Amino acid sequence: MIDFPNCKINLGLNIVSKRDDGYHNIETVFYPLPLRDALEIIPSSDGLFEFSSSGLPIPGTPESNLCVKAWNLLQEEFGLPAVKMHLHKLIPMGAGLGGGSSDGAFSLKMLNNLFDLGLGNGQLMDFARKLGSDCAFFIDNQPCHAFEKGDRFEPIRVDLAGFAVVIAVPGVHVNTALAYSVVTPKFPAREVNELARLPVGNWKDWLVNDFEKPVFEQFPVIGEIKTSMYELGALYAAMSGSGSAVYGIFDVLPADYGVFRGCFVWVSPVQ
């Protein structure tokens, strides 16, 4: 069985308050995009579990990978037989694009189908929340307003069909915990789910990511990429999550991307 875990971008991101459990309450809009990894899961012929990968090098041990953790969760609950998993990694890591979370969520969905576990999306979301705050988004994988830890959702009518998206990721890593530590939580004057319903051309003046100011101060290159997106004609540009990816939404694609030299660049119409 083969599937293709996709990435997401954040349309706005407000850090609302610090929680008693050490996490933060946030609100954002998650929007899926078709920049994808490739994941294959097959039953093991020798009874031994195996995880392998190719493409972008994945830091950490196999045991720390969310694909493996997803299998462990369901194996513990349902006594699954061993499988062979291979992940071809194309979504940059540590970029705020949710690639690892998507891999974990797709693993849950694929294992559910492969072994006819009969889990509904609500149950799969409960397992996904054990893997990470935004993993559950990739179960339904539809545009949504995300709140609390970023793991509670409500549908939202946001459609970027007809626009094109450019993602640029510089070769820097933003520490998410450090990014949270330098942001002062505050209740927004207007919620993201309200602002995201405005025309895309109005987002520049209203839709903000609270991480941008402190992250741009630490990594000026990320702020420069956002500026370049607007210079190339973006209707809206922003950092995704806590970075380091920056995306631009265009009605006409730029002719040249040389300004992003040294970055990973992905260019595609949404549809």
The answer to whether 92 touches 37, Cβ cutoff 8 Å, is no
- Where are any strands of DSSP class E within 143-184? 144-148, 152-155, 164-169
Give the span between the Cα atoms of 19 and 149, in whole angstroms.
9
Beta bridge partners of 34: none
Burial of 46 (0-12, 13-18, 19+ CB in 10 A): exposed
Question: Considering 8, 89, 109, 226, which one is annotated as catalytic?
Answer: 8
Beta bridge mates, 83? 43
Concerning whether 84 is annotated as a catalytic residue, the answer is: no
Q: 37, 103, 109, 134: which is the annotated catalytic residue?
A: 134
Q: What span, in angstroms and rounded, lies between the C-alpha atoms of 72 and 161?
A: 37
Give yes or no: 134 in active site.
Answer: yes
Peptide bond into 244 cis (omega under 30): yes
Active site residues: 8, 134
